[in-house]
Structure 1
Amino acid sequence: MTDTVSTRELRSQLSDVLGRAMYAGDRIGVTRNGKLAAVVIGVADLEALEALEMAQDVAAYREAKAADDGSRVTLAELRGELMS
């Protein structure tokens, strides 16, 4: 993260903060009561994060599918196991 602004500063500098996130690729932290509360990022950063998350989901699915031994239980069987 390259910079932080308070919520008060964000109100007065919103256009500048958005421009920095959009065009310069900056990640600007927003603090509330001195603690980091949020981060303003550009759309390109968001899309990259979402692509990474999707890739991780696909990898987790493939791993789970490879580990699947084919055994299944019915809902009634599961309830029975949980209640005993």
Structure 2
Amino acid sequence: MTVSDARARLADVVDAARVQHDPVYLTRRGQRVAAVIDADDLDRLIAAAEDLADIEAARAARAEIADGEAAIPWEQVKADLGLA
């Protein structure tokens, strides 16, 4: 849907994204420029992306340890984060 069409029918666009749980892509000159999605769907996507980033960071840390790099002591981690 073009940005101009979406502007004219904003309530319909929001309702479609919310009810159907499918993103509504907005275009300008035939190119996608934005998407309207349900807020709860966005929250779930953000949480999933954060979980995936945590999993990847843990994998990388394990690989570093497997390659012989020393682990950072827990007390140092707490001190670096201002928790000690």
Fold shared by both chains (TM-score > 0.5)? yes
Aligned to 2:49: 53
How many pairs does the alignment contain?
Answer: 67
What is the Cα-based RMSD across aligned positions, in Å?
A: 1.5
Unaligned regions of 5+ residues in structure 2, if any? 72-84
Match status 1:70 vs 2:70: yes
Q: Which has the higher contact order (CA 8 A, sep 6+)?
A: 1
Secondary structure of the structure 1 residue equivalent to 2:57: helix
Question: 1: CA distance between counterparts of 2:54 and 2:4?
Answer: 41
Q: Which residue of 2 aligns with 1:36?
A: 32
Is the strand fraction higher in 1 or 2? 1
1:23 Cα offset (Å): 2.2
Residue 6 (str. 1) matches residue 6 (str. 2) = no
Letter of the 2:70 counterpart:
G
3-state SS, counterpart of residue 30 of structure 1: strand
Following superposition, the deviation at residue 41 of structure 1 comes to: 0.6
